[in-house]
Amino acid sequence: MKDVPGTENINWCKEDRNYRISKRINGTQKLIGSSKSLISALMIRDWSKANNWKRYPKRDTKSHEHYIRVNDKADPLYRYRVAKVINGKEYSFGSFPLLEEAIQCRDNCIKNNWSLDLIPVDPLRYIEFIIRGGKIKYNIKHKENGSSVNYGLFNTIHEAMHERDLLEQCNWDFEVICNLDERINEETIYLSKVMV
């Protein structure tokens, strides 16, 4: 796909209606693999490139795409995500910049029978990014009784994480956090709520 940047070594095959990944090696065009989706084709191409253009292993249909997904965030640090549906709910076991790291994580999960103890704690849990006035702000949202509750908008990620940690310690009781505030010389010192 010469006209699409970032898709080197990937071509659309009209007959098979899929993307083919290939590489010219020693004057011969070598087929690396194929995929119905461009995202999977990019993942296969990157894996093959990292493995000296080794042919991508055939997919085991029982493995559900090898349990590796391309992360929706498109952040290069979190490009490959290991996930599995367990009892109808999808669990994420980690996100990685390299496919090799995701494969290692996936293999470890398989070895440990997909134990939920392997799920890392997300440092950005309950925090979402919002753009206001051309600047990024950080909002804390938590589901309570089926609806989403906002707990404040913050200038920095560290302020939002600090407040989120306090909320978790107080079991999301905002009144308890308000009682953490101190008064010194008639001036309120806020131990929480470093909001915009």
Strands 135-144 and 147-154: antiparallel
Of 72, 100, 120, the residue that ends a domain is 120
pLDDT band at 169 (very low <50, low <70, confident <90, very high): confident
Whether 5 and 41 share a structural domain: yes
165/172 Cα distance (integer angstroms): 10
pLDDT tens column, 70-116: 654 445 556 678 888 888 888 888 877 777 788 888 889 989 999 98
Helices 38-50 and 99-111, axial angle in degrees (round to 10): 90
Whether 112 and 73 share a structural domain: yes
Of 67, 101, 120, the residue that ends a domain is 120
**If DSSP codes are grouped into helix, strand and coil, which group holds residue 106?**
helix
- The answer to whether residue 195 is domain-embedded is no
21/58 Cα distance (integer angstroms): 13
Report the pLDDT value the prediction gives residue 62, as an integer from 0 to 100: 40
Whether 108 and 149 share a structural domain: no
Mean pLDDT across 136-153: 83
- The answer to whether residue 97 is domain-embedded is yes
Number of domains in the chain: 3
- The answer to whether residue 196 is domain-embedded is no
Whether 116 and 66 share a structural domain: yes
Whether 109 and 78 share a structural domain: yes
- The answer to whether residue 66 is domain-embedded is yes
How long, in residues, is the chain?
Answer: 196
Range of the domain at 148: 127-189
- The answer to whether residue 181 is domain-embedded is yes
Report the pLDDT value the prediction gives residue 130, as an integer from 0 to 100: 67
pLDDT tens column, 22-46: 999 889 888 888 887 787 788 888 8
